Amino acid sequence: MSFARKVWKFLVAIKDGLVLLLLLLFFAALYAALSFRPTPASVKEGALLVTLDGVVVEEPQRVDPLALIVPMQAATREHRAADVIRAIEGAAGDDKIKAVALDLDYFLGAGQVTLSDIGRAMDKVRAADKPVLVHAIAYSADSAQLAAHASEVWMDPMGGALLAGPGGTYLFWGDAADKYGVNVHVYRAGRYKSAVEPYTRSSFSDDARQDIGGALDSLWDQWRGEVARARPAAKLDKLISDPAGAIADAGGDPAEAAVASGLVDKLGSRQDFGAQVATIAGADDEMPDDPSAFAHTSYETWLKARPAETSGKTIGVVTIAGTIVDGSAGPGTAGGDRIAEILDDALDDDLAALVVRVDSPGGSVTASEVIRQSILRHKEAGIPVVVSMGNIAASGGYWVSTPGDAIFAEPSTITGSIGVFATIPSFEGTLNRFSVRTDSLGTTPLSGQPDIFGGISEQMDAVLQAQITQSYDMFLDLVQASRKVDRAKTLTFAEGRTWTGGTARQVGLVDRLGGLDDALEYAAKEAGLDEGDWHARFLQEKPDAFAMFLQDLTAPQEESVRIGLAEVLVARRNAQLSSVVEDVEAMMARPSIQARCTTCPVPARLLSVEADTPRWLRAAQALFAN
């Protein structure tokens, strides 16, 4: 028995050793995969393949590894706009790249400014005598804006074009609040600050309708102008104004209607498209039996194989993207403490200049001020500060822009909305309807206030409105100092009005029209640097390599659902369902003073309902999908 026990222990030891060895080999392989960096040889002779499977955003959200391993629903992929643009622009001068192929079969959209920037990168490739080919099952306004810049636009014969301009249905809760006895207390400063109207009215006020409608019209004019310049032969009027009539004229075929309009050049399957790219870029030797394959390098691989220039002085770029909130939220949400920490850490980096990239509808006043103060610390260090506005830099997004020595915006940028508000619901009327009574004891006029059960007192109302007025006065002071104008002039473009980039420049809210590259060049000039003497570095947290590795593993495969007309409609429905949750959460959130534009045409970060959506909403989504 003693000998048998020794043999058994020996066998167990061998088993444990083998398990340990396998674990070591697994983690060694995982480390090798995570630490692998492609060399220039990784760029193949062929096409640059840009697969935009999801949305393109200014700053992707942090990837949650657990959500990727055990997802309740596939997360929408987010592509960093600067990465997509750099890869496409780089293809113009890369001798190994013969063409650029954009796969928009999974594309869910981006902001209008972002799309314009990508379009300009596509124009540079074509100017270098390299073709740019695009394929999609269906084209929305977003994907059509990109496609207009291509030399060949392909569509699946089963597809169509749905060119809906900006705008849609907004939810108003005022009548519902009255019906159920909810008293929504509103505190605001700024005549046009319409953020509170959904909670108190049944429709837009005339001021809000004029303000928001004007911004939407301007965005749509910008879209139509860009598409017309990029694709002058296209005749989109009927497809836009009478899509049913355009389809009827094409024999009831939506795809043929898109071809007749000049938006699409050729109809063909994914395999047909791949064969066409292969005639230009070459066949894919690794997949000779796949009719859709062609020699290519993905844009992600190209970025790793062609790292950005790092010679010369450093110009830092800090990104303020998403709603501005107190705390350390983000990336993708502009947590004030997180961004301030990034900026403060960069104070020791000997930056030649700082560019503040803003793509935010605003949010918390206190968080906006935390960020502004951290930007001011760089100004106090004697370096130039330049602001570059993306799709939107409104309300709190403008608050954080005020330290800029110069402010750049693009024609489709939404900015302004200089106003402040707060909302607090109370439920004394609701409780009374159910015969629930309240009684109060206190020692001061503000004891228990704000009281959501017994009601908000006149004293509390006065205190809160005074806080709003004081915050608005501070906002006006910041704008007045930034724009170097008096209070009367400031009020002509304040009061909560929203502006697009061109008119914002005319009224004095921004200094110049241009994108991020223009802002960087201006900052370099202000720092006394010549071309080639500097490089840009994005100031950000180091991404989680393990999470990025898992994201690559969970990328959409060929059998994934692509974005056809039905999927575009479903995505819009999901966005509307999500807006219900956002409205209710905003009204029920803890009281805070907000400099936020809630009715601005903000590009949706996610057009699908994500895994962290409340269960009742996912159930509603499933119900409506059937």
Residue positions annotated with a catalytic role: 193, 395
CB atoms within 10 A of CB 326: 17
Distance of alpha carbon 522 from alpha carbon 291, whole angstroms: 48
Torsion angle in degrees (nearest 10) through CA of 292, 297, 300, 301: 140
Distances (CA, A) of 511 to 85, 267, 404, 574: 24, 44, 10, 38
> What is the helix (H) or strand (E) element at residue 211, kind and residue range?
helix 206-230
Q: Which of 346, 351, 405, 402 is nearest to 373 (CA)?
A: 402
Residue 390 class from Cβ within 10 Å (0-12 exposed, 13-18 middle, 19+ buried)?
A: buried
Q: Identify the sign of the CA torsion 225, 230, 235, 240.
A: negative
| Host H or E run for residue 100 | strand 97-103
Beta 109-110 vs 55-57: how paired, if at all?
A: parallel
Residues with Cβ within 8 Å of 393's Cβ and at least 6 positions away in sequence, in order, are 358, 359, 360, 387, 401, 409, 413, 414, 415
Q: Are the C-beta atoms of residues 141 and 165 closer than 8 Å to each other?
A: yes
- Nearest Cα to 397, choosing from 370, 415, 375, 378? 415
Helix, strand, coil percentages in the chain from 3-state DSSP, rounded to 5? 45, 15, 35
Bridge partner list, 426:
183
Which position has the token pair 């319409």?
194
**Three-class secondary structure assignment of 251-294:** CCCHHHHHHHHCCCCEECCHHHHHHHHHHHHCCCCCCCCCCCCC
Beta strands 420-426 and 183-189 are antiparallel
Please state, in angstroms and rounded to a whole number, the distance separating the CA atoms of residues 503 and 16. 71
> 530-556 as b/e, with b when 16 or more CB fall inside 10 Å?
eeeebbbebbbeeeeeebbbbbeebee
| Phi, psi angles (nearest 5°) of residue 4 | -65, -40
